[in-house]
């Protein structure tokens, strides 16, 4: 399956994009949330941009206390209250999963809201990570009204669950700035 995210919807804010899904059972495109700074070919840690490029979809993470395990063919695991993702560029675990307590900066994956009930890890800046190039780039559940993200791609919860159930090895996401 190939997911294609494009920016530049006429009349829409820069954090709003279109997600097209090339797979049986999905037809057409739907609105998605992007980083508050839109899409950038020069993503940097903390800039609020969604990175441009083609990236593998690595794994599915989910809140087992809130949803059933997705029926995905990707690697899949439940997250726990101590799960995090390192966002400290100078740390050896930069842009990698970590466990709390953690001495360096890290984003908590176990959240009170529903944004990380289902996470699809996007293979951005991970082979190997370049310090400061951006971390924790995910496809995840959108905030109400498709509010901007910190650099991720976000869609409604029902779409996230349906996507996670259909993904497998070799699937990817193409993220394109406005042409």
Q: Tell me the per-residue pLDDT of 16-63, one tens digit each, with 9 for 90 and over.
A: 999 999 776 676 789 999 999 999 999 999 999 999 999 999 999 999
pTM assigned to the model: 0.96
What is the reported pLDDT for 145?
A: 95
pLDDT-derived band at 129, boundaries 50, 70, 90: very high
Tell me the CATH number of domain 2-176, given options 3.40.50.1100, 2.40.440.10, 3.40.50.2300, 3.40.50.300: 2.40.440.10
Structure confidence at residue 78 as a pLDDT band (50, 70, 90): very high
- Any idea where the domains of the chain sit in the sequence? 2-176
| pLDDT interval class at 111 (50, 70, 90) | very high
pLDDT of residue 28: 74
Neighbours of 71 (CB within 10 A): 12
């Amino acid at each position: 399956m190939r997911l294609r995210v494009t920016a530049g919807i006429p009349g829409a804010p820069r954090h709003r994009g279109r997600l097209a899904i090339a797979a049986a059972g999905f037809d057409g495109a739907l609105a998605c949330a992007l980083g508050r700074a839109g899409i950038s070919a020069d993503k940097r840690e903390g800039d609020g941009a969604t990175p441009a490029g083609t990236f593998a979809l690595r794994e599915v993470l989910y809140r087992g206390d809130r949803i059933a395990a997705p029926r995905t063919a990707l690697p899949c695991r439940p997250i726990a209250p101590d799960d995090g993702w390192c966002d400290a560029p100078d740390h050896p675990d930069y842009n990698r999963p970590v466990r709390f307590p953690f001495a360096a900066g890290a984003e908590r994956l176990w959240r009170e809201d529903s944004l990380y009930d289902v996470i699809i890890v996007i293979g951005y800046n991970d082979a190997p990570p370049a310090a400061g190039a951006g971390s924790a780039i995910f496809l995840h559940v959108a905030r109400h009204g498709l509010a901007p993200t910190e650099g991720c791609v976000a869609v409604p919860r029902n779409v996230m669950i349906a996507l996670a159930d259909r993904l497998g090895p070799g699937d990817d996401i193409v993220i394109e700035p406005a042409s």
